[in-house]
Amino acid sequence: MSKSYSSLKSILSEILPLHRTLASDDMDKTLQIIGSYMPDSADYTIETYAPGSQVWTWRVPEKYVVHEAYLETESARGAGRSERVVDFKNNPLHIISYSLPVDLILSWDELKPHLRYSERCPSAIPWEFKFYERDWGFCLPKNQFDQLPQDEKYHAVIRSEFISDPQQGFKVASAVVHPEGGANPDAGEFIVMSHTCHPMQANDNTSGVVTEIDLARRLAGRPLPASSMSVRFWFGPETIGTVAYLANHEDQIPNLRGGMFLDSVGNQNTLALQRTRQNNHLLDRVASYVMQKQFGEFRQGEFAQVAPNDERVINGPGVNVPCISLSRFPYPEYHTTDDNLDIIHEGLLVEAVDVAEEIIRIYASNYIPKRTFRGPVFLSGNGLWVDWRDNWALNRAIEKIMMSFEGQHTIFDIAEQVNLDYWMVRDYVEKFRAKGFVTLMPIPSEAQAA
């Protein structure tokens, strides 16, 4: 039974403190927590990939274990004092993620190149990582860095371990929510993504994770109309997670009709639409329509220009599934410990879910109606006449709608042409379909096969 929740922020605070790096025990725990909230019907599945294995041009990283990590002055150590300059157990951001193991006595000049701080947020610990060209280092607030004695010797200890056991490998998770009546294989899937990495950070991107959970629950609770696309929900570490997943599921790629990445959606800033790489794709037009309806004027940017994320994979070379993203990027607390619960607003998380949900409901339920009739349809004889006294605008649009069933236009295109609400036009077209006057042609796949 999937767990209930009182707010999105409550799930966020459960995941937030975990040491969520590319692969770690806490990442495994994070994926389990996500699964506990996902709808039961969605068949949430966690997959493990063997460290060191080749995925396209990338390599799957090892699991990272930190037994202990701290920095202390030699004088404190000599005097048997336990105070430490920084300690991993107080905050996982205190070390550069994937730091190599060290146990060294260093002068200030030797230590300094291994210390990282943020000029932008001087009282916060910055998040730094060296996943592939490995090194080691500690992260601390600039204010603390400025106070450190330079005539001291320092003891740097990082007891870390890289585990390449395939059983304990690198993990991602996904689940699928089907439309009313079950999957329609011809319609394919829409994929929603967010990443689970970024230890101790709330907005980037635990906010995306919790909005994605809520979206899945909404689409399971009130399924998309029959014959719509299924919606796949994906969770995992940034970039390498998506690369590893797609490389292991190349057969799924032709099925994907579109995607959405959710990133940093809880902070106080306007929601921005990042367009697909195609830039003026049907998905961009659907998203713009929803954003416009919700906000009037809205913020938008080109592909990978607002908040570059895994759309660079899903909409990238050799895949090229049109993928938008929604985010409230930029924000000043980015990649520091100031990115915490204080900057997250429940109302803004919910607003992001509302917008994402409507984009998906329209895009995934859209199809190309293809006529089976000849001549104008005998409307009043088939219950298809719309009385102008009941709906003047739809009455005026009937002829245009009926002339658009040549297999060239989707319902969304038709609604755009007649400048009417998508759902009103869809309901009307569905009446033609119920009479057998149009058949449903799904939106074709545009994914690259190699």
Segments of 133-255 assigned E as strands: 138-139, 153-163, 170-177, 189-195, 230-236
Question: Smallest gap, in angstroms, from Cβ of residue 124 to Zn ion?
Answer: 15
Q: Which is nearer to Zn ion, 190 or 234 (CB)?
A: 234
For the chain, the straight-line distance linking the first and the last C-alpha, in angstroms and rounded, comes to 40
Question: Smallest gap, in angstroms, from Cβ of residue 198 to Zn ion?
Answer: 5
Q: Do strands 368-371 and 438-441 pair parallel, antiparallel, or not at all (unpaired)?
A: antiparallel
Task: Report the SS3 class of residue 57.
Answer: coil
Question: Smallest gap, in angstroms, from Cβ of residue 248 to Zn ion?
Answer: 24
Per-residue CA distances from 75 to 44, 80, 107, 243, 319 (Å): 52, 8, 12, 47, 57
**C-beta nearest to Zn ion: residue:** 204
Residue that the structure tokens 């003891």 belong to: 155
Residues of this chain, 53-82, that bind Zn ion according to CB under 5 A: none
Question: Smallest gap, in angstroms, from Cβ of residue 156 to Zn ion?
Answer: 26
The contact mask relative to Zn ion for 301-330 (x = CB under 5 A, - = no) is ------------------------------
Q: Which is nearer to Zn ion, 230 or 274 (CB)?
A: 274
Stated as kind and residue range, the H or E segment containing 37 is: helix 25-37
The contact mask relative to Zn ion for 130-169 (x = CB under 5 A, - = no) is ----------------------------------------
Question: Smallest gap, in angstroms, from Cβ of residue 266 to Zn ion?
Answer: 14
Phi, psi dihedrals of residue 194, rounded to the nearest 5°: -155, 155
Q: Are 155 and 77 in contact (CB under 8 A)?
A: yes
Stretch that binds Zn ion, among 70-78, 203-211, 350-358, 433-441 (CB under 5 A): 203-211
Report the C-alpha gap between 39 and 159 in whole angstroms.
39
Cite the DSSP H helix spans in 281-390. Answer: 282-295, 311-314, 346-365
Q: Which is nearer to Zn ion, 179 or 237 (CB)?
A: 237
Q: Are 178 and 86 in contact (CB under 8 A)?
A: no
Stretch that binds Zn ion, among 109-117, 197-205, 394-402, 412-420 (CB under 5 A): 197-205
Q: Which is nearer to Zn ion, 334 or 363 (CB)?
A: 334
Report the C-alpha gap between 177 and 371 in whole angstroms.
30
Question: Smallest gap, in angstroms, from Cβ of residue 247 to Zn ion?
Answer: 22
Q: Which is nearer to Zn ion, 87 or 310 (CB)?
A: 310
Question: Smallest gap, in angstroms, from Cβ of residue 129 to Zn ion?
Answer: 10
Q: Which is nearer to Zn ion, 87 or 204 (CB)?
A: 204
Q: Which is nearer to Zn ion, 72 or 339 (CB)?
A: 339
User: Which string of b and e fits 52-87 if b means at least 16 CB within 10 Å?
Assistant: ebebeeeebbbbbebeebbbbbeebbeeeeeebbbb
Stretch that binds Zn ion, among 116-124, 175-183, 201-209, 421-429 (CB under 5 A): 201-209
Question: Smallest gap, in angstroms, from Cβ of residue 307 to Zn ion?
Answer: 8
Question: Smallest gap, in angstroms, from Cβ of residue 152 to Zn ion?
Answer: 34
Question: Smallest gap, in angstroms, from Cβ of residue 127 to Zn ion?
Answer: 8
* 204 lines the binding site for Zn ion (CB under 5 A): yes
Q: Are 72 and 149 in contact (CB under 8 A)?
A: no
| Number of neighbouring beta carbons within 10 Å of residue 191 | 28
Q: Which is nearer to Zn ion, 189 or 204 (CB)?
A: 204
Interface with Zn ion (CB under 5 A), residue total 1
Beta-bridged to residue 301, according to DSSP, are 274
Residue that the structure tokens 């088939």 belong to: 382
Report the C-alpha gap between 251 and 449 in whole angstroms.
9
| Number of neighbouring beta carbons within 10 Å of residue 150 | 9
Residues that bind Zn ion (CB under 5 A): 204
